[in-house]
Structure 1
Amino acid sequence: MPSHLFADRPAPQPPERGTVDALITQTRRLRGGLDAVRREALVDDDDAQGRWQRALCDLAAHQLDDLGCHLGQLREGLTAEEEDAAALTAEASPRDESSPPGEADGGSLLSRVGSAEWNLLTDEVSWSQELFEVFGRSPENGGMSLDELPTVVFAEDQALLTAMVTACLVDGRPIDGEFRIVRPDQGVRTLHMMGEPVLDSDGCTASMWAVLRDVSELRRSQRAVRESRDSLQHERRIAQTEHRLAVELQEAVLPPWRGSLRLPHGGPGALDIAAHYLPSASSALIGGDWYDALELPDGSSLLTVGDLTGHGVTATGAMAMLLGALRGMAVAGLEPGPLMGHLNQLLEQTVQPALGSAVCCRYEPARRRLTWSQAGHPAPLLFRDGTGHPLGAPEGVLLGATHAAAYGQAELTLRAGDLLVLHTDGLTRQNAWGDTQQRGLLDLAPLFDGARSAQDCVRMIVEEFGERAREDDACVLAARIGS
């Protein structure tokens, strides 16, 4: 404990015992509440956010333990009665399996704080029993002198310790710093040293006192907080970068047109087309949904929507590959059924396995003939005369699900004024079983009947479904048959 003589100020009067007792009670209550929070904060080691929160809990626990230790010393001094109180504190704040490793290495709360005084006139060294425990040194060997102390200090920290001691003894400056020691059992501990010179009646330095606190676990917790915080920030930066790349890739791949599109550009039976992409409400990453409309060399038009599993750059990159292949095969003249078979084969051979669903339609304006195929995808909806219904789906499994799968195709003749709505299942999936519910879309049939354009129809769909909490991204494409 410090001497009653100080270099630059008189010894302060201790606070009243009742005040300290109240602080100790509050500390115990906080420690117990924190233990409950730590038990509830069991997280997966792969969760960076959870690791950071757990590290903060551990750091707060060490801080409260140290606070309890110092308040106990302040209340009673280093007596047997204080050690009994510390034992009661430990019982009031029991450890559980979630306590950080190594916490027991520092011993009880009181054994982590010790005091020393070095008399410069008599060379007498006085260490408290707790300081011997901190250093792992037997009291029979006596306390270490200021000259001996650097022998157990890390080589990198010896100059710092020497500078602190010299400044205290020569310049009368207080000591406040940390250094690492190696105990006889080869354990490494970090000590925080606070001390002051003690002056004689002539104002000369007679001795130096210090309080040394083992802060190894505290510093370990602080490092864990920093590392977990840095890891979380790193993962967030990666996620932000991936999101930006996925958005840029999606914007580069999806059709550049906005608003309405007319295909083909002349002649009867042309299509008035509009589409929209709706991001997921539950994921920050872009999914693999797509929509497309393309005029083919023979004057027919390609309409397609689809969805690949996954999110982020991987899913968006696979979508770009698949959509590029689909466009190329459609331009080459492949019918929707065989086209789906080739897409299935392509997805099977990708480096990153994935599943996909898609619907592909080929529309011939001269005959208003629609030929279409699907791969595990919701069928297009046909709206006519104020009512709507899904088209009867031909055979077709998910892309990438079965080797050499066969895909059928269906044909029907459309009428002027008919409206086709193609969408991915993320638009209308509402129940816990993952079933696609199209009733909400079909209920919009009377509104569609009075719409002036396909763009108006898409706007109605977005107003109806855009604010819903979707688990996945969604695309919708509307095509109205011209006269």
Structure 2
Amino acid sequence: MPPHVFADRVADPSPPPHDPVDSLITQTRRLRGDIDAVRRGTPPGDESLARWRRALCDLALRHLGDLDGHLAQLREGPPDVRSVPDRGTPSVLTPVGRHPGTERRPGSPLARAGGAEWNLLTDEAVWTAELYAILGLDPSSAPLTLDELPSLVHPEDQPLLTAMVTGCLIDGKPLDGEFRIARPDGTERTVHMTGEPVLDVDGSTAAMWAVLRDVTELRRSEGDVRRTRESLRHEDHVERAAHQVAVALQEAVLPPWGGPLRYPRRGPGLDLAARYLPSSTSALIGGDWYDALELPDSDVLISVGDLTGHGVSVTSGMALLLGGLRATAVAGSAPAPLLGLLNHLLDASVQPSLGSAVVCRYRPASRTLQWAQAGHPAPLLFRDGTGRALPPPDGVLLGATTGAVYAQAEEQLHPGDLLLLHTDGLVPRHSGTAATRRLLALAPRFARARCAQECVRLVVEELGEREREDDACVLVARVTD
């Protein structure tokens, strides 16, 4: 009986000029080139997104590589099996149009699918050369019988193969399943087997044919994509959790001002308002902070600062600095030595980092302001419709050097004066002198404002609604009668 899988499928020696298979091969190869260009041209940016794109492109390339190989086999036509060799004769099948000695290289796309037929009436087996390459067997050896085939299968998968073959031969079910094979060279491959029974004229099963496809690399690629997906999900979960922790830390540390605040609570002092402005380009919380505290002697401590970076570690570092600042201020430290203590605290922390800060101590009785800065923009003083930046005393960034010493300055304030403290990034796309000029230009509008809260609202309306690349804080303190 001629083998069912190959019968009546001899390739046309003179294919039409517009062969649909050739057209499919050309389209497949063009698509492979396009996808490979996308993979190689993945732009920099989010590393998680880039890894996901590369994984999907690699999987698509493998699928298209397999398709290219199968289409090429289809174009070449079936092997010439018009004469079946004896059981003991080496069964090296020569496909039409190919000469012995030109077998496809194992592992190439064209060697990933092989065919076989087992004749139950004569106990003969016919294999293609590709099947030998997939199973890692010598092409000069006789093809294995159905009884011998399980010897190559992984012990855990042998019951699956037995059930597939039994169902095909007895119940006439088609073959469709995957199993692992242990090749003689010690390597393990995964193959996908499809096939059907061949019925005799009386309806009994006379033979079984099958196509075995090496899907090892494909399954490996799918595993890579699956692990990449799981990794991205895990990273997303971690990022969400970190963001929630950072937000909780920030809300617990920064003063929860829902409206204006007056320090000290009795007599003349400061009318206070502040706002934290998050970055519009990052979901991570930064290390910007503001603070105001009434001290035991009725002095008022105001400060703003910025710890470099984003995330939970930076937010926790900001909480550590604020705790140290409040404790040393309550103990009576002036701004300059207070910054020295904060520098030591940051320099000695488990996760060293850099930060900037400006710390002011206001004495209501004399209306004097003592202040010091650590690499931070100076406070802006607005009076009678004009504004200026206070001359900054010497001070390096917190955490930049061990044992740093900070200078201190003093300013006499008048009733109605307004102080504006801020962190870098308050003025989008501006920094340094340019940012200072933008803020000083608000002086006439501040002169007409009735309270500190209204001044903060003016700053937010002017600068806060635009896209900002970094977090920022603004604190306004207005001297009261």
Shift of 1:139: 2.0
Corresponding residue of 2:334: 335
Is the Cα contact below 8 Å between 2:388 and 2:440 reproduced in 1?
yes
Aligned runs of 1:13-92 on 2, under 5 Å? 18-41=19-42, 47-78=47-78
Corresponding residue of 2:136: 136
Aligned residue identity for 2:26: T
Corresponding residue of 2:278: 279
Matched, 1:460 2:422: no
| Cα distance in 2 for residues equivalent to 1:469 and 1:361 | 30
| Cα distance in 2 for residues equivalent to 1:72 and 1:435 | 69
Aligned residue identity for 2:309: G
Cα deviation code 1:237-266 (max 9, x no counterpart): 111100100000110111122221111112
Corresponding residue of 1:91: none
| Inter-CA distance 36–446: structure 2 relative to 1 (3 Å threshold) | same
Aligned residue identity for 1:186: G
Cα deviation code 1:336-387 (max 9, x no counterpart): 1111111111111111101111011111112211111111110000111111
Shift of 1:158: 0.9
Shift of 1:5: 9.8
Corresponding residue of 2:379: 380
| Inter-CA distance 446–406: structure 2 relative to 1 (3 Å threshold) | same
Corresponding residue of 2:244: 244
For the residue of structure 2 that corresponds to 1:316, the secondary structure is helix
TM-score (norm 1): 0.89
Cα deviation code 1:216-237 (max 9, x no counterpart): 1111110000111111111111
| Inter-CA distance 430–442: structure 2 relative to 1 (3 Å threshold) | same
Corresponding residue of 2:439: 441
Shift of 1:34: 1.4
| Inter-CA distance 75–5: structure 2 relative to 1 (3 Å threshold) | closer
| Inter-CA distance 441–140: structure 2 relative to 1 (3 Å threshold) | same
Corresponding residue of 2:82: none
Is the Cα contact below 8 Å between 1:5 and 1:198 reproduced in 2?
no
Matched, 1:397 2:396: yes
Is the Cα contact below 8 Å between 2:114 and 2:131 reproduced in 1?
yes
| Cα distance in 1 for residues equivalent to 2:180 and 2:44 | 32
Is the Cα contact below 8 Å between 1:345 and 1:404 reproduced in 2?
yes
| Inter-CA distance 206–43: structure 2 relative to 1 (3 Å threshold) | farther
132-141 or 296-305, which moves further after superposition? 132-141
Cα deviation code 1:365-410 (max 9, x no counterpart): 1221111111111000011111111100011111111111111111
Residue segments in structure 1 that go unaligned for 5+ positions in a row: 88-103
| Cα distance in 1 for residues equivalent to 2:246 and 2:54 | 32
Aligned residue identity for 1:72: A
Is the Cα contact below 8 Å between 2:304 and 2:423 reproduced in 1?
yes
| Cα distance in 2 for residues equivalent to 1:176 and 1:454 | 76
| Cα distance in 2 for residues equivalent to 1:473 and 1:404 | 29
| Cα distance in 2 for residues equivalent to 1:298 and 1:4 | 98
For the residue of structure 1 that corresponds to 2:410, the secondary structure is strand
| Cα distance in 2 for residues equivalent to 1:41 and 1:243 | 28
Is the Cα contact below 8 Å between 1:106 and 1:214 reproduced in 2?
no
| Inter-CA distance 194–247: structure 2 relative to 1 (3 Å threshold) | same
| Cα distance in 1 for residues equivalent to 2:148 and 2:375 | 79
Is the Cα contact below 8 Å between 1:176 and 1:195 reproduced in 2?
yes
| Cα distance in 2 for residues equivalent to 1:169 and 1:412 | 99
| Inter-CA distance 35–106: structure 2 relative to 1 (3 Å threshold) | farther
Matched, 1:365 2:368: no
Corresponding residue of 2:415: 416
Is the Cα contact below 8 Å between 2:428 and 2:463 reproduced in 1?
no
Cα deviation code 1:38-82 (max 9, x no counterpart): 2223879x9333222211111000111111222223333146788
Q: Alignment length, in residue pairs?
A: 458
For the residue of structure 2 that corresponds to 1:305, the secondary structure is strand
Shift of 1:170: 0.8
Aligned residue identity for 2:459: I
Is the Cα contact below 8 Å between 1:2 and 1:210 reproduced in 2?
no
Matched, 1:200 2:209: no
For the residue of structure 2 that corresponds to 1:140, the secondary structure is coil
Shift of 1:455: 1.0
Is the Cα contact below 8 Å between 2:257 and 2:273 reproduced in 1?
no
Is the Cα contact below 8 Å between 1:336 and 1:360 reproduced in 2?
yes
Structure 1 consecutive aligned stretches of length 4 or more whose deviation exceeds 6 Å: 13-17, 79-84, 433-436
Corresponding residue of 1:123: 123
| Cα distance in 1 for residues equivalent to 2:3 and 2:74 | 12
For the residue of structure 1 that corresponds to 2:251, the secondary structure is helix
| Cα distance in 2 for residues equivalent to 1:25 and 1:372 | 75
| Inter-CA distance 458–22: structure 2 relative to 1 (3 Å threshold) | same
Is the Cα contact below 8 Å between 2:105 and 2:111 reproduced in 1?
no
| Cα distance in 2 for residues equivalent to 1:421 and 1:63 | 62
For the residue of structure 1 that corresponds to 2:287, the secondary structure is coil
| Inter-CA distance 63–335: structure 2 relative to 1 (3 Å threshold) | same
Shift of 1:435: 7.4
Matched, 1:209 2:196: no
Matched, 1:299 2:293: no
For the residue of structure 1 that corresponds to 2:305, the secondary structure is strand
TM-score (norm 2): 0.89
For the residue of structure 2 that corresponds to 1:289, the secondary structure is strand
Shift of 1:83: 7.5
Matched, 1:160 2:160: yes
Shift of 1:282: 2.6
For the residue of structure 1 that corresponds to 2:393, the secondary structure is coil
175-184 or 67-76, which moves further after superposition? 67-76
Corresponding residue of 1:99: none
Aligned residue identity for 2:355: G
Corresponding residue of 2:89: none
